[in-house]
Structure formats: C-alpha cells, structure tokens
Structure 1
Amino acid sequence: MFKTINPLVAPKISEQDEIQDTTVKITEFCKEPKTRKETQEFLDIQSRSYLNQKIMRPLIK
C-alpha cells in the first residue's frame, strides 16, 4: 500500500504548536537577559499585547 503526499498542502500548525515552538526560541534567546522590545523584534511579533498574553505570561507561570 502506498500513501501519496501532496507537497503543496502543508500540515496545519495549531496555535499551541506555534506557541511551544516560540517558547523554545525564547528560552534559547534569553539565556542572557533581554528586553521586551528585543524579544518582540527577535520573534517578529508586532503586537505587544499578543507577546505578553500568549507568550510571556505562560512562560512566567
């Protein structure tokens, strides 16, 4: 039995998967202290509130 994979159809990445991936990036990036602005620029996140609510608060918890 063969399974065909369509390379034009990318698997959907859930918001939770994206947040977990971002968490790993931040953990590595912040081994040395960084400002909120530096972190936001590193992650290319435009919204300060998104960074705070979806990324930083869960990390702090």
Structure 2
Amino acid sequence: MRADLEVADIFRAAGPGYRVSHAGHLSLQQLKVMSAIEQCRTAALGGHVEACADCGQWRIAYN
C-alpha cells in the first residue's frame, strides 16, 4: 500500500523551483540525487505488471 504523499511527490512539485532559486549553489551530486528521487516509481525507470493468480487483478508497478 502506498502512502498518500511521498518524499518524491514533494521533490516533483518543488524540485524545479528549488533548483532555479538555488542555481549555482547545488553540486552535481545533489542535482543527480534530486533527479533520481523525482524519477522513482515513474515510467521513466520502467516497470512491470503484477498480477494476482487467484482473481486475475493486475496493476503496473514502476521501478
């Protein structure tokens, strides 16, 4: 079960503005970590289909 709000949701919403307002003050490593968090559990990293063998219900699970 997924929480209503995750850290990645905050990064996706506020990250672009944060990067703009802190331009020149973030290291490449910090920018890479922010990007990785923002891409977590999205189609950008691919995914797979999870299916229940009993009821046949399925869902897409992103990496």
Superposition TM-score, scaled by structure 1 size: 0.30
- Which protein is richer in strand relative to its size? 2
TM-score calculated relative to the size of structure 2: 0.30
Structure with the larger helix share: 1
**Higher RCO (CA 8 Å, separation ≥ 6 residues):** 1
